[in-house]
Structure 1
Amino acid sequence: MSEYQYYEFQALDQPLSREEQEQLRAISTRARITATSFTNTYNWGDLRGNPRHMVERYFDAHLYVTNWGTHRLMLRLPKQTLALTTVQPYCLGHHVEAWTTRTHLLLDLTSEDEGGDWVEGADDSLAALIGVRDELATGDLRSLYLAWLSALAAWELEDDDEEEYQTCPEPPVPVGLDELTAPQRALADFLRVDADLLAVAAQASPAAPKKPTRPTKRELAPLIAAMPQKEKDDLLLRLALGPEPRLRTEILHRLRGTSAPTTIAGRRSAAHLLDAAHTLRTERRKRAEHERAAARAQRLIALAREAESAWQRIEAHIATKKATGYDQAVTLLADLRDAYAHTDQNTEFHQRLARLREHHQRRPSLIQRLDRRGLR
């Protein structure tokens, strides 16, 4: 398979000027560039620009996917919507990084899986993930916690220092981890968040508060009147300078505040979460194995009850004198052997098998197949 790299950048809060588009064209002559986007696919070579610098300067979101297992999402948010101090507890190694420029906070979320299956022609797009940015801007930190879980699982594979896991604290736990939004579910898939690790983490997450209803004039008027004058002046200035598509959301968030906490203090260590996830995974696999064994036992009992019909089907397959018929006969015979064994009728099965082998001893291809499956 040839090399595959997909780059997508989106400008959300402000379109690119013609001058900025020309600057981006100098980075790539083949990219599709519009006033709000930059997309390109590489089957050889690399993007000449630095994605971090491109997001810092031009874009609000970036997605990068490769066929060797790299998934990367970068987001840029205005500093007033999300503080670096809020994000830092969720940063872990190079998988979750955050930094600020003069005006923005930037997030860099990465998942690597070289052994994962690559689906050529998959729909790689920011569309399913972009909602995460709005959620973060309004104080919903579940996406940060998901990124931390993804990084934690990757860290476990890269490092086996048990003491580090014991001393690595869990970041603040957002409410509603057991009821993710569509963008958050897409992010969990994109970052390959382990389902058992998420289930364990969600055990300490309170239920999310109900979605606020559409605000009314009666509700907002006293809240606006109570706002500090300087804060109102700042918001009006930003509105006049515009455009800021998410300014309304920010204002509503400020006015309504957070009547219920959006996170609770993390009390578990990385080791505790990883161990609990391992226990949950082991128990789930045991249950699945037990269910498969029980289902197989039922199938074998049913086959034993219809043994005569099975023997007739075996003879019919053999009578075709074709390789596929022989294969079907041998497969059914192996199942029938297990059915007889399950119902304590081994002796009867081997007597009938011996007669079958004797009757068809002039069919060497069939006999060889029987021998290979241990049907002697």
Structure 2
Amino acid sequence: MSEYQYYEFQALDRPLSDEEQEQLRAISSRARITATSFTNTYNWGDLSGNPRRMVERCFDAHLYVTNWGTHRLMFRLPKQTLALPTVKPYCLDHHIEAWTTRTHLLLEMTSEDESGDWVEGADDSLAALIGVRDELATGDLRPLYLAWLSALAARELEDDDEEEYQTCPEPPVPAGLADLTAPQRALADFLRVDADLLAAAAQASPAAPNESARPTKKELAPLIAALPQQEKDGLLLRLVLGPELRLRTDLLHRLRGTTAPATAPGRRSAAHILDAAHTLSTERRQRAEHERATARAQCLTALASEAESAWQRIEAHISTKKTSAYDQAVTLLAELRDAYAHTGRDADFRSRLIRLREDYRRRPGLIHRLDHHGLR
């Protein structure tokens, strides 16, 4: 398999200037560059620019995917929408990093899994993940907690120091971890968040408040009328100076007084959460094994009740003298053996098998298959 790297950058709050697009063209002559995006795929070589610097200067979102298991997502948000002290408790090793420029906060989330399967031609894009940025900007910290869980699992694979996990504190726990939004579910998949680890974390997360999805004119009209004149002027100015993609979101939150899911102080250690996830995983496997065993027992009971019909099908397969039919006969015989054993009739099966082997002792292909499957 050849090398594969996919880079995608999106400008959301403002379009790129002609000068910025020319600067980006100097980084890559093959990239697809528009007023709001930069995308390129590499099967050899690499991007000559620094993705962090590109996001700091021009872009609000960046996705990077490779066929050796790297998934990276980066967002740039105005400082006033997400403060560095809010993000820092969720930063863990090199998997989650945050820093600031004069005007923005930068957040980078990385998942590495060299053993994971990579699907060539997969639809790798920012489309499903871009909504996470708006959620972070409106105070929803669930994406940060998901990234922390991803980093925690990665650290467990890299380091077995149990004492470190005992002293590693849980960051603030957002409400609604058991009821993720569509972008958050996509983020959990992208960062390879273990389902049992998420379920264990969600045990300490209260339910998120319910909010109607689409406001009505009747609801919004009096809210708009009640806005101070100076604030209305400011909103109109932002609209005229647009495009500003966040304007509608900001205004709706201002009008309706809605807030992002609240957070509660993290009270558990990383070790506690990992242990709880392990318990959930063990219980889930045991349930699955029990369900498989129950289903298997039902199948064997049903087969045992129709044993004579099964013997007739076996004889019919053998009578064709075809190798494929021999295989079918032996497979059914092995199932029938288990069915007789399940119902406590091993001796009956043994007696019928001896007669069958005697009847077809001159069929070496069949006898070889019976011996190979332990049907002696």
1:293 counterpart = 2:264: no
Q: Determine helix, strand or coil for the equivalent of 1:250.
A: helix
- Cα distance in 2 for residues equivalent to 1:14 and 1:341: 72
- Cα distance in 2 for residues equivalent to 1:288 and 1:53: 48
- State the AA in 1 paired with 2:271: A
Q: CA deviation at 1:243?
A: 3.9
Partner of 2:223: 219
Which stretch of structure 1 is more off in the superposition, 103-112 or 205-214?
205-214
Counterpart contact for 1:11–1:60, Cα < 8 Å: yes
CA deviations on 1:307-347 (whole Å, 9 max, x unpaired) are: 11111111112222222211111111111000000111111
Q: CA deviation at 1:361?
A: 1.4
1:305 counterpart = 2:305: yes
- State the AA in 1 paired with 2:220: T
Counterpart contact for 2:209–2:261, Cα < 8 Å: no
Structure 2 CA distance for partners of 1:155 and 1:232, relative to 1, 3 Å: farther
Partner of 2:346: 346
CA deviations on 1:42-81 (whole Å, 9 max, x unpaired) are: 1111111111111111111111111111111111111111
- State the AA in 1 paired with 2:199: A
- Cα distance in 1 for residues equivalent to 2:13 and 2:199: 35
Partner of 1:71: 71
Counterpart contact for 1:224–1:255, Cα < 8 Å: no
Structure 2 CA distance for partners of 1:30 and 1:260, relative to 1, 3 Å: closer
CA deviations on 1:223-279 (whole Å, 9 max, x unpaired) are: 647xxx8x8998777666544321342344356556686111111110000000000
Counterpart contact for 1:173–1:266, Cα < 8 Å: yes
1:372 counterpart = 2:372: yes
Counterpart contact for 1:143–1:184, Cα < 8 Å: yes
Q: Determine helix, strand or coil for the equivalent of 2:27.
A: coil
Which stretch of structure 1 is more off in the superposition, 355-364 or 255-264?
255-264
1:56 counterpart = 2:56: yes
- Cα distance in 1 for residues equivalent to 2:373 and 2:326: 12
- State the AA in 1 paired with 2:71: H
Which stretch of structure 1 is more off in the superposition, 337-346 or 202-211?
202-211
Structure 2 CA distance for partners of 1:261 and 1:185, relative to 1, 3 Å: closer
Counterpart contact for 1:165–1:269, Cα < 8 Å: yes
- Cα distance in 1 for residues equivalent to 2:169 and 2:242: 41
Q: Determine helix, strand or coil for the equivalent of 1:62.
A: strand
- State the AA in 1 paired with 2:32: R
Q: Determine helix, strand or coil for the equivalent of 1:74.
A: strand
Give the 5 Å matches for 1:134-173.
134-173=134-173
Partner of 1:197: 197
- Cα distance in 1 for residues equivalent to 2:183 and 2:264: 22
Partner of 2:128: 128
Q: Determine helix, strand or coil for the equivalent of 1:26.
A: helix
Identity of aligned residues (%): 81
- State the AA in 2 paired with 1:99: W
1:107 counterpart = 2:128: no
- State the AA in 1 paired with 2:135: E
- Cα distance in 2 for residues equivalent to 1:56 and 1:97: 14
- State the AA in 2 paired with 1:282: T
Q: Which runs of 5+ in 2 are unaligned?
A: none
- Cα distance in 1 for residues equivalent to 2:299 and 2:9: 54
- State the AA in 2 paired with 1:46: D
- State the AA in 2 paired with 1:219: L
- Cα distance in 2 for residues equivalent to 1:232 and 1:80: 20
Partner of 2:9: 9
Partner of 1:331: 331
Output the TM-score relative to the length of structure 1.
0.93
- State the AA in 1 paired with 2:307: A
Partner of 2:184: 184
Aligned residues: 372
Partner of 1:25: 25
Structure 1 segments, 4+ long, off by >6 Å, are 231-237
CA deviations on 1:259-301 (whole Å, 9 max, x unpaired) are: 6861111111100000000001001100110111111011101
- Cα distance in 2 for residues equivalent to 1:220 and 1:236: 12
- Please report the RMSD computed on the Cα atoms of aligned residues, expressed in angstroms: 2.0
- State the AA in 2 paired with 1:146: L
- Cα distance in 2 for residues equivalent to 1:257 and 1:30: 46
- State the AA in 1 paired with 2:186: A
- State the AA in 2 paired with 1:207: A
Output the TM-score relative to the length of structure 2.
0.93
Structure 2 CA distance for partners of 1:176 and 1:261, relative to 1, 3 Å: closer
Counterpart contact for 1:4–1:41, Cα < 8 Å: yes
- Cα distance in 2 for residues equivalent to 1:24 and 1:375: 70
Counterpart contact for 1:81–1:250, Cα < 8 Å: no
- State the AA in 2 paired with 1:119: V
1:264 counterpart = 2:264: yes
